[in-house]
Amino acid sequence: MADISYKQELLRKTVHLSSLWMPALILFAPRAACVGLFAFLFLGNVAVEYGYYKRLPFFVNTYGRLFSKMLREKETDGGFRLSGSPYVLGAALAVSALFPTVCAACAMAVMLISDTAAALIGRPFGKHKINRGKKSIEGALAFFAAGALVVFETTVWFQAGGAFLARGLLGVFAAMFAEVYENRLKIDDNLSIPLIVGAFLSLPLF
């Protein structure tokens, strides 16, 4: 069962999609600038969430008012748990540092768009449950379709070639399982998805 309402999920995914500036920045800014900015934002985000966890008035009145209703149960279970946001920034930092520019940008775009599609389709239309009811086949297929579209558009836009497309599709397929079985892998999918897709796109598999 979902621990936030569909309306709250919509708000959460709106914030998710607003992060599409990250792959755009990766494409057009120098690598060092991206790494530096994402590192700064990541550390700042962690500090803000820790301040909220410690119930410091400033963070309760700002971060709490804006985002507390969008936090999942696992993010507010009494201990200090990061929300999805620091993982998104951490992923942007990691892919910027590790992968070629186009691969890094594509990997981030896949995560932001596919994860959103999986939630927005899977929540209302997910009738065929998998992973003990936590996910659905419909949501997983939406994830793959959205990710495949991102990889295809990236391939066409940058004339990256058939091998790039094939590696990307394999990466999206693998990342789909990381999203579906996030609870078993114990790795936040905001981090695992771009790392998996970026690795597949970057490795000379064929």
pLDDT at 81: 85
For residue 57, the tally of other CB atoms under 10 A from its CB is: 9
3-state secondary structure of 203: coil
> How does pLDDT run across 15-53, given as a tens digit for each residue?
889 999 999 999 999 999 999 999 999 999 999 989 988
The burial class, CB within 10 Å (0-12 / 13-18 / 19+), for 58 is exposed
For the chain, the average pLDDT equals 90
> How does pLDDT run across 123-149, given as a tens digit for each residue?
889 889 998 878 999 999 999 999 999
Contact status, residue 89 vs residue 45, Cβ threshold 8 Å:
yes
% of the chain exceeding 90 in pLDDT: 66
Query: pLDDT band at 1, cuts 50/70/90?
Result: very low
Its pTM stands at 0.89
Q: Give the H/E segment covering residue 137.
A: helix 137-157
The strand pairing partners of 130, in sequence order, are 135
% of the chain exceeding 70 in pLDDT: 91
Residues in the chain: 206
State CA 1 to chain mean position distance: 21
Angle between helices 137-157 and 162-180 (to 10 degrees): 150
- Cα–Cα distance measured from residue 72 to residue 127, given in angstroms and rounded to the nearest whole number: 22
User: Tokens in use for 111?
Assistant: 């995560």
Terminal CA-CA length for the chain = 41
Q: Give the H/E segment covering residue 129.
A: strand 129-130
Contact status, residue 140 vs residue 118, Cβ threshold 8 Å:
yes
Q: Read off the amino acid at residue 54.
A: K
For residue 81, the tally of other CB atoms under 10 A from its CB is: 14
pLDDT at 61: 82
